[in-house]
Amino acid sequence: MSETVIPYMVKPHPVTGLPNGKFGIWLFLSSEVMLFGALFSSYVLIRIGMPHWPPEGGLSSEVLSVPWGTFNTAVLITSSITMVLAWASCKMGSLPRFKRWMGATVFLALVFLVVKYFEYSDKFHHDHFPSHDNFFAVYFLLTGLHGLHIVGGIIVNTFLLTWGSRMWKTDPEHFTNRVENAGLYWHFVDLVWIFLFPSLYLL
């Protein structure tokens, strides 16, 4: 049905070799790479130009909570695994199993945000705001933007978990493609954090 309304949403397009949805998400992720690439480049230039990092002295690992950062890294890596299992459940034709794994993905994303809330609260309690110095400006910008991407992923995955799953009854293959596209986005968000964590917390 979907192929007659919007062509190549399930079957690969003869030019790109990909369904239109997957091609679109790859284009979107390319723009996201440029966005975070520009921010990482700015961070490197700012850090190279600073005699001390953080500016107040010491190590970044003494200013930021490495245990919480490590925990959140494990949470996001696990959420990538559950996202793959959700997609695999669709491929195997099991909607209940999909909902179980997608629910776990959304839950882990919420755990990540709760940890970031406590991290931010601790920084604000000690009067460490983005305006405090370059270190905290970079920290809040990069982690805050990443957090917004987490929120976006939660919204999309929750939709697929609830109302969006109605498509399973009418067009399961198209629904599976949607889950795969959401998974590509989620893996990108996780990959960004894997670069953020050592850059900000450890180096």
- Angle, alpha carbons 115-118-119 (nearest 5°): 85
> What's the whole-model pTM score?
0.91
What is the pLDDT at residue 26?
95
* Domain assignment of residue 197, yes or no: yes
* Nearest CA among 167, 193, 186, 163 for reference residue 106: 186
User: Tens digit of pLDDT for each residue in 10-52?
Assistant: 787 877 777 888 999 999 999 999 999 999 999 999 988 888 8
Q: Which domain holds residue 165?
A: 19-202
Domain-located, residue 8: no
Other CB atoms within 10 Å distance of the CB of residue 77:
13
Q: Is residue 76 part of a domain?
A: yes
Domain-located, residue 3: no
pLDDT for 11 equals: 80
Query: Residue 128 and residue 114: Cα distance in Å, rounded?
Result: 19
Q: CATH number of the domain at 124, please.
A: 1.20.120.80
Give mean pLDDT, residues 77-90. Answer: 98
Distance CA 168, CA 178 (A): 11
Residue 13 lies in a domain: no
**Range of weakest confidence among 49-63, 80-94, 98-112, 176-190:** 49-63
* Residue 12 falls inside a structural domain: no
**DSSP letters spanning 39-102:** HHHHHHHHHHT-SSSSTTSS-HHHHTTHHHHHHHHHHHHHHHHHHHHHHHHHHTT-HHHHHHHH
Express each pLDDT in 116-167 by its tens digit.
Answer: 999 999 999 988 899 888 899 999 999 999 999 999 999 999 999 999 999 9
Q: How many domains does the chain have?
A: 1
Residue 32 lies in a domain: yes
The pLDDT assigned to 195 comes to 94
* Residue 65 confidence (pLDDT): 92
2 is a domain residue: no
Q: Which residue has the tokens 């990443």?
A: 146
**Could you tell me what percent of the chain has a pLDDT over 90?**
75
